[in-house]
Amino acid sequence: MNLPVSPVPGIPEIELHKACPTSGLWRLARQDKAGFGAPYWAHYWAGGLALARYVLDNPAVVAGKRVLDLGAGSGLVGIAAAKAGAREVVAAEVDAYAVAALELNMKLNAASISVLHGDLTNGAPPEVDLILIGDLFYAPDLSKRVGAFLDRCSNRGIRALIGDPWRAHLPTSRLKELARYVVTEGGSHGRGPSGVFSFVPRPSAEEIASP
């Protein structure tokens, strides 16, 4: 398998191993009898590109904080957080191939990140100060699960920032737009806008009851 290294479009501070026409991912998929899945970790996603750019442009949002990159994929957002001065970065990913790519990209960028192979969305809030999410609202079931997880986290005072190009299942009613970028996504999607949002906690019972 051939995943050449190149600077990330619009984010020259970071280089990643990425797929190209000669990468041979189809051969890897053929060999994996357990199920290869979609190689999302080998391509650029608009939400991750926007969120990584925002973090690097606004390092104060992560500086000195414990940060979780949820659904880390290639590790772009987590690497950006580490470069911007986060005290600790944890990258959570469910796909074993993504974990392997993430570890390669961490070494390539000399980024200190702890990798967690598993799904955190059904569990208790992690011991972090900030959650970063790039492009996890592309399917209804996943969107619902991530939203419920963020509600549990916000009840514990954990803030979340989301990068997304307004995909169909993005919960816009729960978000506040912070920035907007024009990015070049991988595959056939091309160039277009992508937003960075803060997740808005639900009001407490006391806040609802107050006049």
- CA 140, CA 137: separation in Å to the nearest integer? 7
What are 134's strand-pairing partners?
Answer: 163
Architecture of domain 44-209: 3-Layer(aba) Sandwich (3.40)
- The pLDDT tens digits of the residues spanning 6-51 come to 899 999 999 998 865 544 444 544 455 455 456 666 788 999 999 9
* Burial of 203 per CB tally in 10 Å (0-12, 13-18, 19+): exposed
Which of the residue ranges 12-26, 67-81, 82-96 would you say has the lowest mean pLDDT?
12-26
Percent of the chain clearing pLDDT 70 (strictly above): 82
Q: Which residue has the tokens 């190689």?
A: 39
pLDDT for 36 equals: 47
- CA 86, CA 153: separation in Å to the nearest integer? 19
**pLDDT of residue 1 exceeding 80:** no
Antiparallel, parallel or unpaired: β 11-17 and 88-93: unpaired
- CA 78, CA 94: separation in Å to the nearest integer? 15
What φ, ψ does residue 134 adopt, rounded to 5°?
Answer: -110, 110
Beta strands, E only, 54-146: 66-70, 88-93, 114-117, 130-134
Give the pLDDT band (50/70/90) at residue 206.
very low
> Who contacts 56 (Cβ-Cβ below 8 Å, separation ≥6)?
11, 13, 80, 83, 84
Q: What is the CA radius of gyration of the chain?
A: 17
Enumerate helices (H) and strands (E) in the chain, giving the number of each.
Answer: 6, 9
pTM: 0.88
> What does the domain layout of the chain look like in residue ranges?
44-209
Percent of the chain clearing pLDDT 90 (strictly above): 72
